[in-house]
Amino acid sequence: MSNTARNPRDVRMRGFASRTTVEDAWSWLDDAIQAKRSSLGTESIPIGNAAGRILASNVHSQVDVPMFDRAMMDGYALLAADTSGASNYNRLRVSVIGESFPNVPFDDTVATGTAVRIMTGSPMPKGADAVLPAERTESSDDSQSVELLGEVPSQKNIGFRGEDIKAGSTVLHAGRRLRPQDIGLLSSIGCADVTVVASIKVRVVVTGNELLPRGSVPTGYQIVDANGPMLSALVSRDGGVVVDDSIVPDNPTSIAEAMQDDVDVVLVSGGSSVGQEDHAPRLLAEHGELAIHGIAMRPSSPSGMGRLDGRLVFLLPGNPVSCLCSYDFFAGRAIRKLSGCQTDDRHWNYRSVRLPLARKIVSQVGRVDYARVAIDNEKIVPIAISGASMLSSTTRADGFVIVPADCEGYAPETEIEMFLYEG
């Protein structure tokens, strides 16, 4: 390190002096996510758009659900006592004095010896205390009376007022990620809008003077940006909202400006390492906090993260495979946790399977490896390492395995957990 003073420009081309472990990076990150979470705003949105969003405050019901006693079966509303002793061999007959349909109740009272035809969900008529299901009855030709072929106990086949939800009760608690059935429940208690945690706004900052925007044809020494479109798709998948993912000129002023957009999370793709053109780490350190830079993992070791005026900022390597890996380990973790996609017991937004390895996987103790793998014949096959830098290695792969830092790798036939890219 003695040459640091002599030639700082050169020193920036050197490797990292030391690397943070993935565990330590996660530990810093989880604290930062927790702090960020408490500063997120809220918004009121129609319930029809609220599935998957996080409830910002408890929801209480103003009403009973149902608001009236109702039949839970198609059949006859009657007095349970009138069915006493009824069977196929002892048919009891009662008069049918009317009908109750949904929103068209029977307005009179059911007395002993009478019954009201009733449909599921219809209001129970006064006097009746049970519903005898239609399949245990036989109505007369003129529908003026009905034979009872079975007994029914009092209160049976009735849904009582407030049975589902009582007025004044808390139906859903703050912090809950709303499920489709929650949306149904909110609708049933008369909620039109609901207050949810504001969406996580994300700025994707893609740097690189050689880059052409998506939709361009690559030409000469210019290549078309892969990371911006990939990161945008990842952010959307994880519940964030990309407000801008345009390419930024590779100069410190433009990058620093883009890092200060009005968003919750900034992803900087490219220029994350220690080379002379790697502006992002220095800029983050100057304008905010570069908490972590250089991580003991492969790929993606030139990753960094920190904060800038309340934004979480992630520095992602420009190599597309490293970019994907770094996103999923760190930036994606933050976006998933903040948007509610990821719970504490779940590191990844991928489904996993356990399968035996077809060939060994070699790693180094002290370093976490993210290895792309395929499935062949119900076994996990590592993708050739020569493709480490190639995006096509992640499109040929069926998923990935993580080799932890305390592990030298796995022998053939070891059964390990594999995460599926198909989700």
Bridge partners (DSSP) of residue 193 are 46
Q: Does 375 bind a second copy (CB under 8 A)?
A: no
Q: Counting beta carbons within 10 angstroms of the beta carbon of residue 107, is it exposed (0 to 12), middle (13 to 18) or buried (19 or more)? A: exposed
Q: Does 240 bind a second copy (CB under 8 A)?
A: no
Q: Which is nearer to a second copy, 351 or 360 (CB)?
A: 351
Structure-token pair, residue 301:
């070791």
Q: Does 180 bind a second copy (CB under 8 A)?
A: yes
Out of 19, 22, 82, 208, point to the residue binding a second copy (CB under 8 A): 208
Cα-based angle 16, 20, 24 (whole degrees, multiple of 5): 170
Contact assessment for residue 309 and residue 36, using Cβ atoms and an 8 Å cutoff: no
Q: Does 377 bind a second copy (CB under 8 A)?
A: no
φ, ψ of residue 264 in degrees (nearest 5): -90, -35
User: Shortest approach of a second copy to residue 218 CB, angstroms?
Assistant: 6
User: Shortest approach of a second copy to residue 217 CB, angstroms?
Assistant: 4
Out of 231, 316, 380, 383, point to the residue binding a second copy (CB under 8 A): 231
Out of 8, 10, 60, 366, point to the residue binding a second copy (CB under 8 A): 10
Q: Which is nearer to a second copy, 225 or 264 (CB)?
A: 225
Q: Does 116 bind a second copy (CB under 8 A)?
A: no
Structure-token pair, residue 393:
């290695």
Fill in the DSSP letter of residue 374.
E
Number of alpha carbons in the 13 Å side-chain half-sphere of residue 150: 13
Task: Look up tokens 């839970």; give the residue.
Answer: 72
Q: Which is nearer to a second copy, 28 or 350 (CB)?
A: 350
Task: Look up tokens 């801008």; give the residue.
Answer: 244
Among 40-48, 79-87, 307-315, 406-414, the segment contacting a second copy (CB under 8 A): 40-48
User: Shortest approach of a second copy to residue 164 CB, angstroms?
Assistant: 4
User: Shortest approach of a second copy to residue 107 CB, angstroms?
Assistant: 11
Contact assessment for residue 245 and residue 204, using Cβ atoms and an 8 Å cutoff: yes
Q: Does 306 bind a second copy (CB under 8 A)?
A: no
Out of 179, 251, 366, 404, point to the residue binding a second copy (CB under 8 A): 179
Out of 42, 52, 364, 405, point to the residue binding a second copy (CB under 8 A): 52
From residue 135 to residue 164, the character string flagging contacts with a second copy as x (rule: CB under 8 A) and all else as - is x--xx-x-x---------------x---xx
Compute the residue count for the chain. 423
> Contacts with a second copy: how many residues (CB under 8 A)?
107
Interactions with a second copy, residue window 72-91 (CB under 8 A) = 72, 74-75
Residues 6+ apart with CB under 8 A from 270: 206, 207, 208, 227, 250, 280, 316, 317, 318
C-alpha distance from residue 84 to each of 71, 109, 129, 227 (Å): 20, 20, 13, 75
Out of 21, 57, 111, 121, point to the residue binding a second copy (CB under 8 A): 121
Which helix H or strand E contains 75, and what residues bound it?
Answer: strand 75-78
Among 27-35, 57-65, 84-92, 406-414, the segment contacting a second copy (CB under 8 A): 57-65
The crossing angle, in degrees rounded to 10, of helices 332-339 and 22-37 is 30
Q: Does 265 bind a second copy (CB under 8 A)?
A: no
